[in-house]
Amino acid sequence: MKYKYNITHKLNGKKTTINFKNEQSLIKHLNTHQNKVNKLENVYINFSAVSLPLKATVWNEQSKVKAVEVMKPKKKPRKKTARSKAKAAEKRRLRKFIKQLES
């Protein structure tokens, strides 16, 4: 399986990769393990078709830019369907009926 998001670096002269399933997990890893990544040699960060050297990113120790926060998309509330509206109305009627019986 080819991973779109990974970090490549050299370890004992051989090219090594750290693979990630999605962009968010890659960014999260870079934010939490910034010191470890900076100690590696010849590091490149691959975002799909874009390959960036670590020196050109915010995760470089010499960079003065703050790290990127992983943002999750906001969930939109579901639209109420005719069936769910009918169910809610039926529940209201039943509650009202039960209250009348109890009184």
Is 89 a domain residue? no
CA dist 15 → 8, 10, 22, 67, 72 (Å): 7, 5, 21, 26, 32
Task: Give the domain range for residue 30.
Answer: 5-56
What pLDDT, in 10s, does the model give residues 16-72?
A: 999 999 888 998 999 899 889 888 889 999 988 888 898 888 888 877 666 566 677
Gyration radius of the chain over CA positions: 26
The C-alpha atoms of residue 38 and residue 33 are separated, in whole angstroms, by 9
Band of pLDDT at residue 79, cut at 50, 70 and 90: confident
* 8 Å CB contact between 30 and 59: yes
Is 97 a domain residue? no
End-to-end CA distance of the chain: 67
What is the pTM for the complete model shown?
A: 0.59
Per the structure, the count of domains in the chain is: 1
Is 18 a domain residue? yes
Is 84 a domain residue? no
Instruction: Please name which of 52, 37, 40 lies closest in space to residue 5, comparing C-alpha atoms.
Output: 52
Burial 34-44 (b: 16+ CB within 10 A, else e): beebeeeeebb
